[in-house]
């Protein structure tokens, strides 16, 4: 239900009886006063409350880091979301590796592994590990670099191999990506070197 508020209510905050006046995004909202909970919180509810509290703390942290705050402010202008909402979403939602291609990797130095990511503000770091599937030993590990500089939210990444792998060897390629709050996503795939 929508209602037009008279002037003195439009600028009211606080409570009266069971009614609470809240200001949010420059508008006054009238809501019912929350009732006291009679049951204990479940483990899942406690965990969720902690996650939201940490998301709020992350917003406070971002306020203290001018360079990081500038990224969120730019994203705010681009998306129309507030910095507070973007910080919450970024904290609560890990980055995603949306696709990766191993076709360009043939086990030779200079071969390229490409992958794509998505995040509210962008991926900060991407680590690629190539391991021998049979032995489980690491053949090489290194940082991927953005393929397209300045891409927002969706990131195009590439990793250039540095180590030769003999033909017939089966390798596991693992990619881990991290966002500003430190959340991560991981994906892996198998490649038989020809």
- The yes-or-no verdict on residue 21 having pLDDT over 90 is no
**Domain contains 26:** no
Q: Do both 123 and 167 map to the same domain? A: yes
Is the domain of 134 the same as that of 184? Answer: yes
Q: Is residue 151 part of a domain?
A: yes
- Confidence label for 86 from pLDDT (cuts 50, 70 and 90): very high
Kindly report the pTM of this predicted structure.
0.75
pLDDT, residue 1, reads 47
* Range in 2-11, 52-61, 128-137, 181-190 the model is least confident about: 2-11
Domain range for 137 is 96-192
At 87, give phi and psi (nearest 5°): -65, -45
Average pLDDT score, the chain: 87
- 81 lies in the same domain as 128: no
Same domain, residue pair 86 and 136: no
Q: Taking Cα atoms as reference points, which of 99, 164, 152 lies closest to residue 122?
A: 152
- In this structure, the answer to whether residues 114 and 184 fall within a common structural domain is yes
Q: Is residue 7 part of a domain?
A: no
Q: How many domains does the chain have?
A: 2
Taking the C-alpha atoms of residue 50 and residue 40, their distance in angstroms, rounded to an integer, is 15
Return the sign of the alpha-carbon dihedral for residues 144, 149, 155, 157: negative
Does residue 31 form part of some domain? no
52 lies in the same domain as 111: no
- What per-residue confidence (pLDDT) applies to 189? 92
């Amino acid at each position: 239900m929508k209602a037009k508020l008279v002037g003195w209510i439009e600028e009211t905050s606080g409570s009266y009886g069971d009614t609470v006046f809240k200001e949010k995004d420059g508008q006054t909202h009238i809501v019912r006063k929350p009732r006291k909970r009679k049951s204990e919180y479940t483990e899942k509810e406690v965990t969720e409350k902690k996650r939201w509290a940490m998301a709020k703390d992350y917003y406070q942290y971002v306020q203290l880091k001018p360079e990081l705050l500038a990224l969120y402010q730019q994203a705010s202008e681009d998306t129309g979301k507030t910095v507070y909402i973007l910080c919450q979403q970024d904290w609560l939602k890990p980055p995603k590796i949306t696709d990766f291609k191993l076709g360009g990797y043939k086990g030779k130095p200079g071969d390229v592994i490409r992958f794509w990511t998505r995040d509210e503000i962008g991926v900060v770091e991407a680590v690629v590990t190539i391991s021998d599937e049979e032995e489980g030993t690491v053949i090489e590990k290194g940082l991927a670099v953005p393929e397209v500089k300045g891409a927002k939210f969706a990131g195009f990444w590439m990793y250039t191999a540095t180590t030769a792998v003999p033909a017939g060897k089966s390798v596991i390629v693992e990619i881990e990506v991290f966002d500003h709050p430190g959340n991560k996503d991981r994906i892996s795939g198998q490649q038989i070197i020809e």
